[in-house]
Amino acid sequence: MNPVDRLILGLDAALRTVAGVHEAARPSPGESVPEAELAEGQRAHAAALMRVNHVGEVCAQALYQGQALTVRSESNREALERAAREEQDHLAWSAERIEELGGRPSLLNPLWYGGAFVLGAAAGALGDRWNLAFLAETERQVEEHLTGHLERLCAEDAKTRAVVEGMRLDEAKHRQSAMALGAAEMPEPLKLAMRAMAKVMTTVAYRF
Ligand SMILES: [Fe+2]
Ligand SMILES: [Fe+2]
């Protein structure tokens, strides 16, 4: 694929992500789980947590797109594209779950997408080892974050929990594959900076 085709595909993906057009290749892990009786507050809380997760997945789309544009090695590109396809499932699953819970996606999605795209492209420009390092660390933090959500979701809400758990398993796989491809280890200050940014993003996205 030549760079212009790649750019057009990238723009298409950006518009779809921000416009909320998602297609999952795999059924949602929550699909066959029955809906629990939830109190109004619990439902709103679950919808807000899923909005945060959906923003995370919007950012994942942007990161992977940004990185795919700059990655050097063809085999690394294929691994990135494979993970990006699974992230598309996450995007669709979380959007679907928000809707089922009566919530709405973040109003700031175009902003989140733009920011994450720039970060992904910047990491990509530093070379594949750092590109993969950034990816591995992102996936690790997302995995931890989803574990935190499993603690914060009410125990009866098995349907939301199944979606979060399904995503968490994939993120662990993405981290392992980035490491297997030769990711460098991120310096501690950068990890902390990523955590701080994620904190701002998750706090804002819980409300807006
Ligand atoms: Fe994901
Ligand atoms: Fe992931």
Q: What is the pLDDT of residues 148-206, one digit of tens each?
A: 999 999 999 999 999 999 999 999 999 998 898 888 888 888 889 888 988 988 899 89
Which ligand approaches the C-alpha of residue 91 most closely? 1
Question: 72 alpha carbon to ligand 2 midpoint, in Å?
Answer: 20
Averaged pLDDT, 112-126? 84
Please report which ligand is nearest the Cα atom of 79: 2
pTM for the whole structure: 0.87
C-beta separation of 132 from 184 below 8 A: yes
Residue 49 in tokens: 């947590």
> Which residues, in sequence order, are CB contacts of 36 under 8 Å at separation 6+?
156, 157, 158, 159
Q: How much of the chain, in percent, has pLDDT values that exceed 90?
A: 44
Q: What is the pLDDT of residues 68-104, one digit of tens each?
A: 777 778 888 888 888 888 999 999 999 999 999 999 9
CA of 191 to the centre of ligand 2 (A): 17
Please report where in the chains the tokens 């994942």 appear, as a residue. 60
pLDDT at residue number 80: 81
Confidence of residue 21 (pLDDT cuts 50, 70, 90): low
Determine the distance separating the centroid of ligand 1 and the alpha carbon of 167, expressed in angstroms.
Answer: 6
Q: How far is the CA of 38 from the centre of ligand 2 (A)?
A: 29
Ligand with an atom nearest the CA of residue 140? 2
171 alpha carbon to ligand 2 midpoint, in Å?
A: 4
- Ligand 2 centre to CA of 138 (Å) is 8
User: Which-ligand-closest: CA of 173?
Assistant: 2
CA 47 to chain centroid, in Å, comes to: 16
Q: Which residues contact 124 (CB under 8 A, 6 or more apart)?
A: 66, 67, 68, 69, 70, 71, 131
